[in-house]
Amino acid sequence: MAESAQAAPTASGFTRRFFEAFGAPVWAVGIGLALFALLLLALQELVLGRTGLLARDADLIDDLLGAATHVVIVAYLLTAYVYAQRTTERSITKLLPLIDSHRVDELLAHSAGERTAYAVAGVLSIPAFVAVNLMISPGEPSLWPSTWGPETSWHRVLGLLMSVFTFRLFTLLALESGRLSALAGAIRHVDLLEQDALAPFTRQGLTYALLVIGVTSVYALFLVDLAYLPLLGLIVVPTVVVAAVALLLPLRGIRARIVAAKHVELAWCREQMRARRAGLAEGDPADDGAGLAELVAWEARIEAVREWPIDMSTFTRFALLLLLPVGSWAGGALVERAIDALLD
């Protein structure tokens, strides 16, 4: 079964191969990519002799900060995309021993519908990019390269990549959340008293939620300029929706299995209780009532089993994740103040 998981990874493509070519952790490659792009931006300003304008051109500083923000966002989206793929594969590998072996290949195979979903996401990202630039982004709304300045070029090119990979990341998380839910339906047996084996569902749901909320967090860096507030408002609603889906959808399938297992166990328990009760009524000397008391206690124990494999600590973590965009905005504001202080 492990071989099936290896034969059906979440996805393959240039982005995945690029990150894995370095043989380093995904986050390290993402940071390196961002630093490399920022270095290219700095070299561009040096070669064009624009560094001397920084002290007297506030618009140039804003454009440079905007370009740097675009770099950070694209680096995050690429990193999150690959990280989601790799963590999903690790979670599936841990769950494979629980899954009906006859259904593994079917559930891990990538359907034509999934490929269509990625294609549709890519197509929709283009008009979304155009609409944001023409109707929401501050400044002169122009998509003609001949009108772009050196810094604006970074805004436009990276802005398109931001749109494409935001759509693709959300699509990936939605599809893989659904896959995990389907895998839960193929679990051979659910032990109601020992649910540690089901922990990968909860951990992966939290991971997906973290990655989605991270999107809002990096977009919140734009709020060093409050003119970008409508852009953040546009991204917040779908982010909250996708974050909730990403957290709960992987758990939906396993909840259904837990509910079914509880129903079977409670039905058996109550059937035994009726039999014991009948024995007591008939004066069966082999039944002194102790067995009935044990069954009542067992019924209460089974009814107390949580149907959703999450607890208060999970909700607390999710609530704390929702605060990340606030911290991101505050950090961006501090960076802007520090730059202003240095130039003054």
Query: pTM here?
Result: 0.78
Total domains, the chain: 1
Phi, psi of 11 (to 5 degrees): -170, 160
Q: Please report the pLDDT score of residue 1 as a whole number.
A: 38
Mean pLDDT of 1-25: 68
Tell me if 92 is assigned to some domain.
yes
- Asked whether residue 70 carries a pLDDT value surpassing 60, the answer given is yes
Tell me if 158 is assigned to some domain.
yes
Q: Which amino acid is at 66?
A: G
Tell me if 285 is assigned to some domain.
no
More confident residue, 127 or 342: 127
In this prediction, residue 161 has a pLDDT band, given cuts at 50, 70 and 90, of very high
49: left (phi over 0), alpha (psi -120 to 50) or beta: left
Tell me if 311 is assigned to some domain.
no
Half-sphere exposure of 82 (CA within 13 A, CB side): 21
Tell me if 273 is assigned to some domain.
no
Q: Are 231 and 137 in contact (CB under 8 A)?
A: yes
Residue 137 domain boundaries: 2-250+326-343
126-135, 158-167, 273-282, 319-328: which has the minimum mean pLDDT?
Answer: 319-328
Residue 251 C-alpha from the chain's centroid: 14
Tell me if 295 is assigned to some domain.
no
Tell me if 203 is assigned to some domain.
yes
